Amino acid sequence: MTNPIVSIQNVSKHFGSFVAVDRVSIDIEPGEFFCLLGPSGCGKTTLLRMIAGFEIPSEGELLLDGEDMTEIAPNKRPVNMVFQSYAVFPHMTVEKNVAYGLKIEGVPQAEIDERVKEALGLVQLSQFSHRKPDQLSGGQRQRVALARALVKRPRVLLLDEPLSALDAKLRDAMRLELVKLQQSIGVSFIMVTHDQEEAMAVADRIAVLNKGEMVQMASPADLYQRPIDAFVADFVGRVNMVTPTAISGTSASTVEWGDITLAQSAPAGAASDIRLALRPEKIRVSDRQSESRGIMLKGELGDVAFQGDHCIVEVRLTGGASLIAYADDAQGATLMEMDTGASVWADWSPADMMVLPKGSLA
Amino acid sequence: MAKHKQRPGPFDYARKLSMRTVFLLTAIFLYAPIIVLIIFSFNNSRRGGNVIWKGFTTKYYERAFNNDSLVEAFVNSLTIAVISTAFAVLLGALTAVVLWRFRFPLKPVYEGMVALPIVIPEICMGVSLAVFFSWAGMTLPPETPWPFNLTNIIIAHITFSFPFTAMVIRARLQNFNPEMAEAARDLGASEYEVFRDITLPFMVPGLVAGGLLAFTLSLDDFVITFFTSGPSTVTFPVKVYSMVRFSVTPEINAASTILILMTLILTFIAIRLQKIEDATT
């Protein structure tokens, strides 16, 4: 077991009476791509800014490679950050932007030249070194910001919503580039994002934050398949969710879906504090009543949205609620040819039904 | 194929007759008086110099240059403008940074107080400054050596031009992305280095614009200067005024033309400087 590169120990941050971060503890391993994920205002950016040194924690400690960094000034920390707006210096060329940190550090000019060249090569900007930022595209500016931070050889690279200002296509490409870059240089990345898809695509581990508290920390797959509560299930990926009116042992009653059998017994507590959650890809939608895998509900076919490799199918249940299901292309083709309102059957296995505490779900 | 007559689109301003007319009238309205002034500075006629063209001459330029009191007033004006601009830019920049960077009690009051001289009528500023100088015992004896005899005027000019420079520089800082300062901090820069390397270069266009504004305001100020100048200190506008009281001679036209030329050159240099700044740093 290696020592964590960043150790966030019971850190809180108060702004007046507002609690931005509430007793969060996270250990980040060397060489890890870590994501802080949460809705806006959850405290993820404040947490990142505390690691960078722009905010001082109200309580708790921040260790960097075993050394206390809680109150060290940002310019004295071996971490570097890529800002949401990139914050590329407009009056300097690409080269000067990247060299700035080394110049301030007092690195000899020959070494600066060499390291800048290397960093620009790493982000594929070598041929743009003499351009001014206003002559670059958004994606190129972002890579300047990356090179500028990486040239300092930080122990940890912090990224604040680095992809949010890019258009969708470029964002997907940069996601892959970020992962490749991180793997090739082996530095720990800590990235803040509100986009769960983005977090799932890049991260080794994700911490989900809500209202200043850490709700769950796990790998993307665990987060998706074994969410700790209804908030995480709802925030990460798509989910069909229902509140039971009564629950006892492995049977639950709901208004919307009728009576449902569960594979696991519900946690203790009132039924209204429980949520039943089902991922869309676990539901099979058929045009006829075939052999059930456990639970089968009859409904009417709603909208079918073609997505290329799959279809998103809406099933309107007799109770008035709708289920969202994903159908593979063969099944989707059948459903798309049917009329809206035709009878369909949705079925799933009780084992796929997640029984979760309500948690911090609004 | 039939040729279609293309109708001007909404953005083809220059192709619409109405637009051209407006443009032409605007140009005439703005520049005709100045052009007339320049043309008649070459008029070979002493009396009624700005009405009847009597042939070309440059003798009034010569005469203006040989008019010692006019040259003295001109040099005074330039000296006052240079010194007061330097102080106004410095004070304005500091004020702008304070207003932009910090939060403190009664900040809106302070902000209002800085901006107030802009809207106070000039005549009131002039009178109040004159009263203040005499109350404070700051009346300079006539034998005060140059350039110290200009002290009161310089102080007055700093007073009325620094709110303008503060406003202009403040407006520039408003567009500063605070993440740029944080990025520099993050890369290892101290607070001072951030200011030197990031904030200050960003302020330069504001400093230049504010400086130009202060310079031109100072150069042509009449009202406040009139109240604060002693009997022995005359600036160019005040001198021109006293000369015009008899009649507008081509000499005045010549001197004014030189002033216009100087302002144009200065503006041109400032614009060039800014472009070089943009291209190299």
What's residue B137's pLDDT?
83
Cβ of B185 within 8 Å of Cβ of A54? The answer is yes
Minimal Cα distance from B185: which residue of A? Answer: A75
Residues of B in contact with A48 (CB under 8 A): none
Distance from CA of B96 to the nearest CA of A (A): 21
What's residue A1's pLDDT?
52
- The token pair that represents A317 in the structure block: 């249940």
* Cβ neighbours for A115, distance < 8 A, ≥ 6 positions apart: A102, A107, A151
Nearest alpha-carbon partner for A178 in A152, A196, A206, A204: A204
**Taking 50 as the threshold, does the pLDDT of residue A195 lie above it?**
yes
Distance from CA of A144 to the nearest CA of B (A): 12
Cβ of A104 within 8 Å of Cβ of B278? The answer is no
**Cβ–Cβ < 8 Å for A81, B179:** no
Angle of helix A109-122 relative to helix A168-185, nearest 10 degrees, comes to: 130
What span, in angstroms and rounded, lies between the C-alpha atoms of B71 and B230? 18
| Average pLDDT score over chain B | 86
What span, in angstroms and rounded, lies between the C-alpha atoms of B165 and B90? 9
- CA dist B122 to A18, B127, B163, B167, Å? 49, 9, 13, 18
The residue ranking higher by pLDDT, A164 or A128, is A128
Minimal Cα distance from B202: which residue of A? Answer: A91
Cβ of A84 within 8 Å of Cβ of B179? The answer is yes
- DSSP 8-state code for residue B185: H
Residues of A in contact with B185 (CB under 8 A): 53-54, 73-75
Residues of A in contact with B277 (CB under 8 A): 91
Distance from CA of A147 to the nearest CA of B (A): 12
CB-closest option in A76, A81, A85 to B177: A85
Q: What is the pLDDT of residues A240-267, one digit of tens each?
A: 998 888 887 778 888 888 888 888 777 7
* Cβ neighbours for A18, distance < 8 A, ≥ 6 positions apart: none
Q: Is B81 on the interface with A (CB under 8 A)?
A: no
Cβ of A152 within 8 Å of Cβ of B187? The answer is yes
Provide the chain B residues 166-205 that lie in CB contact (below 8 A) with chain A: 177, 179-180, 182-190, 193, 197-198, 201-202
Instruction: State the average pLDDT over residues B198-225.
Output: 90
> Can you give the pTM of this predicted structure?
0.81
What span, in angstroms and rounded, lies between the C-alpha atoms of A141 and A92? 12
**Cβ–Cβ < 8 Å for B152, B228:** yes
Highest-scoring range by mean pLDDT, A255-269, B45-59, B118-132, B144-158: B118-132
**Taking 80 as the threshold, does the pLDDT of residue B3 lie above it?**
no
User: E strands along chain B, which residues?
Assistant: none
Q: What is the pLDDT of residues B168-204, one digit of tens each?
A: 999 889 889 999 999 999 999 999 999 999 999 999 8
Minimal Cα distance from A81: which residue of B? Answer: B186
Chain A residues at the B interface, defined by Cβ less than 8 Å, are 52-54, 73-76, 79-81, 83-85, 87, 89-92, 96, 100-101, 104-105, 145, 148-149, 152
- CA dist A340 to A287, A301, A336, B175, Å? 12, 5, 9, 54
Count Cα atoms within 13 angstroms, Cβ side, for A333. Answer: 3
What's residue B280's pLDDT?
45
- The token pair that represents B22 in the structure block: 């407006």
- Please, which pLDDT band fits residue B243 given cuts at 50, 70 and 90? confident
Cβ of A87 within 8 Å of Cβ of B278? The answer is no
Q: Is A12 exposed, middle or buried (0-12, 13-18, 19+ CB in 10 A)?
A: middle
Residues of A in contact with B278 (CB under 8 A): 91
Count Cα atoms within 13 angstroms, Cβ side, for B82. Answer: 8
Residues of B in contact with A106 (CB under 8 A): none
One DSSP character per residue, B136-181 reads TT-PPPTTPPTTGGGHHHHHHHHHHHHHHHHHHHHHHHHT--HHHH
Count Cα atoms within 13 angstroms, Cβ side, for A274. Answer: 21
Cβ of B193 within 8 Å of Cβ of A145? The answer is no
Q: What is the pLDDT of residues A227-239, one digit of tens each?
A: 999 999 999 989 9
Minimal Cα distance from B177: which residue of A? Answer: A87
What's residue B10's pLDDT?
67
Q: Above 0.90 for ipTM, yes or no?
A: no
Phi and psi at A182, nearest 5°, equal -65, -40
CB-closest option in A52, A84, A91 to B202: A91
Residue showing tokens 């039943």? A276
- The token pair that represents B242 in the structure block: 């006293």
Cα Rg of chain B, angstroms: 24
Distance from CA of A148 to the nearest CA of B (A): 8
Residues of A in contact with B189 (CB under 8 A): 75, 100, 104
CB-closest option in A89, A101, A145 to B188: A101
- Whether omega before A78 lies within 30 degrees of 0, making that bond cis, reads no
User: E strands along B16-80, which residues?
Assistant: none
Helices (H), chain A: 44-52, 94-105, 109-122, 138-150, 168-185, 196-202, 220-225, 230-235, 329-337
Cβ neighbours of A126 (radius 10 Å): 14
- Please, which pLDDT band fits residue A60 given cuts at 50, 70 and 90? very high
Q: What is the pLDDT of residues A72-120, one digit of tens each?
A: 999 999 999 999 999 999 999 999 999 999 999 999 999 999 999 999 9
**H/E element holding B253?**
helix B250-280
**Cβ–Cβ < 8 Å for A270, A349:** no
What span, in angstroms and rounded, lies between the C-alpha atoms of B241 and B67? 15
Nearest alpha-carbon partner for B72 in B232, B253, B258: B232
